[in-house]
Chains A and B, each alone.
Chain A
């Protein structure tokens, strides 16, 4: 069993539906995003790359925890709070995490957040899933693969419905999973492949 995701970059329109679904379902604090939509043209959202008119590109890469095969974050965690589940999901145990941020330094993908202050929320009640992860000061937060949802048979929030039908997930070891079927025969890109982390999020261009 190996949890993995695939994103069809040719279909992704950078609408942020997956990012907001994550924000809602996981009751994320203010300014915290576990799934970030990056424009490859520049830092400003929706920036194109190239020369008008004939040589232009505009692409998006939704980037969340890559649920790596060799997660650098797990290696460096001094308390074992960062761990990899048997299904491949990389997660953080908030009760063990001491907020030392070693994992943030080790992770090449910049997808972890240190709650260095008491997290604040734009809503004054908890939204999303009743069992959304706890966001505790002095711990590190990150994409949990929506383990809480998966464990009760639901799909990760970001995979619930992509308007562009650009997102796929499932067991990469199972050739019949949605993600394996989508990836079969396709050339893929993984972020920072030379970092040795063996990410399990595949991008198809």
Chain B
């Protein structure tokens, strides 16, 4: 058809606005003039042909000669949990298109608006061309270009000085999930360990990880069943999650379940897009989810909807908890000497078996006692004990349906209905990260697992609790840890939200910590962590902040030296997560400008530091991560991956079911509905309340509790800052990635905040007004979107915008670093603000 040679040859200026485009008119205009309902059952016959325009012959065109084009295997790695396998098309040496790979199972073929926009990240005119060094004030945007040799020389000379003056822990390394490939994510950790540096845990999603790893253990889909199994659920609970926006690749599975007859239940303070497609929307008060869960457990128990046989067989419910120390009764407690056994690693380890009791009072191991009780308290050889299941039930008892209804701001009938549906099952709880974003978040997931365990909504088709992050590859076959230099380890571990205080105090829980330098890769904490101003304060206390990035993102903007890394398509990678496949990234084009891979950068730094063992190439490393016994046994090799590009690794027929055999990869090999030995998710020496963390409990969010409800008094900050500040996934971004793609910016061009009409009216705010959101931590200016789906008293800001895109401030100025020491985390929603017209 049309010739495009002229177009392609044209040299085009940037950013000229074209007026009068179709994009400017809204849908309302179309709808207003009559969007009528078709009456026909057979749309193929809607034309009667009477006024039909006669088809015309197409004007003769000289066909365009197809130029040579190549397709390479790619994989999207922004950690939206997509892991999308992509076909990357190259013409004249440039990436010109990305489309979805046709995978063996078409349900997993996937791409999104961001995936189609990769070429705008590759050819972003603001890509870093070479290493740069700050010359003006921090954050002033004044830089000088330096050579790689100069950059490495300066960094390593200073690092050696810091090591000598302040110890190896004075240099800290912080990652994120900005390039979720095996090498990009892990390789710099080798250098950290070889240098004995400090590991900064970046603390995202930890409530979900912590509770899930303890309660049901990692499976091939990480936590829960393979997403495709959701079609077998009768009830799908989207609990504090909005997958239609956050994981569009999964949405069709949920709609498939709905079409198959499942009821979709959305539990969320805000009316989200997912809620709009649900059968039941439960508009809970923010931060009250665990009160709801405990009330549901009460209702389930009171009605006898538990699965006692499953509790006996697959959970720690029958285990006997000692009143004296909260631990399970073991043989040694009744005078049976522990024996020993040899574990898989060949070490001799003690065996002190956990005991259960039957109704006749016989006590023994689960192998010995055929029918253990799950309820009751007993005295056994001087030990006062109670069944773990009984303790679970008792812990929930005070949280009656009536009390939860008041706390959650929903009706008692709603809670009863939810409990009934859930217990009837098969029910899937599709977890997300809404509850995770409050200081009280970890218990929500803990109690979800407990409720799943007692109703057998785990381990069978359609019954799942968790989130399919398809960990199969990393867990089974891809083992970067094997390539850690012998004996190397981080000297210190710390957690990102606590770091500023630790740096000020020059200690981490009693251990010296004179932090001098921070190396940040695959991460943009200033855009993604809470309390952005605290990060700038932290950077100002350091001697050398080094950031690796493709462009001057928010964090790089405040760095001392920025090193340019490759775009994902400019090097090889393995993506072992978030799909049933191990996926290869081929090197599609050469690195642009002077950008380098993380492996190359780290090798240069190691050489500068005089550290051996960093001579391997990227390909050596990738191949090495697959060079292990299990991978070999299953014929998963680097050579095979290079040849086949995509290898299916998830087991299951037809779907992977977590814990299908009743055995779980937990401390007890059972579902842990009781936490025998509470351990913080990240241990850095902090103190925490052991007893409180054995069982479900609820307390209000730390800050985001603006009204007094029942005996729980409002946070006094609410007098000045009455609105709860929440953020939402931004359709056009993955965290802060794709933030400057021109195509996507044409669609969503500036930071917006959604405000309920009554909250807007009370402040004189109208649609499209610029508003200032603020609290004592900082401010941000947004465009107001008056949105009836925002819960009154709660505002929603789609996130991912960077500083240069705000008229003033940044959304992360508003959030708080407060966290629960048991589960160190970024608690994004536990924040109060006020809004006024800007």
Contacts and interface: CB of A to CB of B under 8 A. Distances in A.
A102 interface: no
B762 interface: no
Given A111-B22, A161-B99, A134 B2 contact: yes
Interface string B262-274: 0000000001010
Interface string B26-67: 111111011111111111101101011111111100001011
A175 B744 CA distance: 37
Contacts of A161: 99-100, 109-111
Interface string B74-113: 0000000000000000011010111110000000011111
A143 to B, nearest CB: 10
Given A45-B748, A202-B43, A164 B116 contact: no
Is chain B's interface secondary structure helix, strand, loop, or mixed overall?
A: loop
Contact of B42 (A41, A108, A110, A184): A184
A138 interface: no
Interface in A1-48: 2, 4, 6, 10-11, 13-17, 19-21, 23-25, 27, 29-34, 36-48
Contacts of A125: 8, 92, 94, 96
Interface residues of A, number: 120
B685 interface: no
A123 B18 contact: no
B752 A17 contact: no
Contact of B35 (A111, A122, A191): A191
Interface string A117-149: 101111111111111111100000000100110
Contacts of A180: 44
Contacts of A61: 27, 30
Given A113-B21, A117-B18, A124-B12, A165 B746 contact: no
B36 A193 contact: yes
A43 B22 contact: no
A153 interface: no
B110 A172 contact: no
Contacts of B692: none
A47 to B, nearest CB: 6
A63 B7 contact: no
Contact of B17 (A24, A31, A59, A160): A31
A36 B215 CA distance: 45
A85 B123 contact: no
Interface stretch (B226-234, B275-283, B701-709): B275-283
Contact of A43 (B1, B28, B111, B281): B28
B255 interface: yes
Contact of A56 (B11, B111, B120, B789): B789
A193 B34 contact: yes
A203 B17 CA distance: 32
Interface in B699-717: none
B116 A31 contact: no
A106 B66 CA distance: 36
A109 B25 CA distance: 10
A94 B3 CA distance: 10
B120 A123 contact: yes
A17 B2 contact: no
B255 A17 contact: no
Closest 4 CB pairs of A and B: A38-B27, A126-B8, A122-B742, A58-B276
Given A53-B271, A187-B37, 16 more contacts: A16-B731, A17-B113, A36-B23, A38-B27, A43-B28, A46-B787, A69-B49, A84-B53, A86-B57, A120-B13, A124-B123, A126-B4, A127-B119, A161-B109, A187-B39, A198-B47
Interface of A: 2, 4, 6, 10-11, 13-17, 19-21, 23-25, 27, 29-34, 36-54, 56-59, 61, 63, 69-71, 74-75, 80, 83-86, 88, 91, 93-96, 108-117, 119-135, 144, 147-148, 151, 160-161, 163-165, 172-173, 175, 180, 183-196, 198, 202
Interface of B: 1-4, 6-8, 11-23, 25-31, 33-44, 46-47, 49, 51-59, 64, 66-67, 69, 91-92, 94, 96-100, 109-113, 115-117, 119-120, 123, 244-245, 248-249, 251-252, 255-256, 271, 273, 275-277, 281, 283, 731-732, 742-744, 746-748, 752, 756, 767-768, 785, 787-792
